[in-house]
Structure formats: C-alpha cells, structure tokens
C-alpha cells in the first residue's frame, strides 16, 4: 500500500524530507521575523495598507507552511488517491478540509496517532 511504501522511507528519503522541512521552517521563521521587524504587530495599524498587506501575506505563508506539514502526514498515512485528494482539498480550500480530514481519521482509525497502538512501544508496555 502507498502508506507502507511512503512511511518506510530510505535514509536518503529521510534526509531529503528533513532538509525540506528544515528549510521550510527556517524560511517561514525568517519571513515572520522580517514582517515583525518592518511591521510590528502591536499597536495594530489596520488603517495602513502596507501593514495590512504585509500581515495578510504573512498569514498566507504561515497557513501554507502548516498545511504542507499536514499534507506530508496525510501522504504517509493514506493510500495514494485519497492522500492526494485530501492534500488538494486542504491546500485549496483551507482549514475546514483540514478539520474534515481529522474527522475522517478519527472515524476510520479511531485514533489520531501517527502509528497504530500495536506499533507504539509505550502503549505496548502499559498494556502488559
């Protein structure tokens, strides 16, 4: 299945994913830092167009950074067609579909854990 193939990544795949998410995090942190430096959040300056545009842009960047992280989890968890469908919905239509995915996950797997309880050494230890 797609999820088993994607979740058992080679060391090269792990390194690439690590590098990608490290770069993504640093980029978003830098964008936030620059926005805060040039357009401090407080006091609110909603009457200034440049301030409003800067914070609208930062909000969009922040959302897509988080959505890409969620999509990586979805791609590692679901089969290919449902995974791509959920990712497109999350990326194009936003938080309502991210919440819908979480409801789907709860309804189908009865859990939000990234691994099943049988694979979790802590849960296996606690149930012995």
Using one digit for the tens of pLDDT, what is the confidence trace for 113-127?
876 555 555 554 445
Whole-model pTM: value is 0.80
Looking up tokens 């309804």 gives 107
pLDDT score, position 113: 81
Instruction: Count CB neighbours of 58 within 10 A.
Output: 18
Residues 47 and 89: their CA atoms lie apart, in Å, by 33
pLDDT, one tens digit per residue, over 67-89 is 999 999 999 989 999 999 999 99
């Amino acid at each position: 299945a797609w999820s088993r193939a994607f979740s058992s990544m080679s060391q090269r795949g792990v390194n690439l994913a690590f590098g990608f998410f490290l770069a993504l995090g640093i980029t978003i942190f830098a964008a936030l830092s620059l926005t805060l430096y040039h357009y401090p959040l407080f006091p609110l300056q909603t009457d200034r167009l440049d301030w409003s545009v800067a914070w609208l842009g930062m909000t969009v960047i922040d959302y897509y950074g988080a959505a890409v992280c969620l999509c990586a989890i979805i791609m590692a968890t679901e089969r290919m067609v449902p995974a791509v469908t959920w990712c497109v919905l999350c990326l194009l239509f936003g938080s309502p579909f991210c919440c819908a995915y979480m409801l789907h996950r709860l309804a189908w797997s009865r859990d939000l854990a990234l691994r099943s309880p049988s694979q979790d050494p802590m849960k296996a230890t606690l149930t012995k």
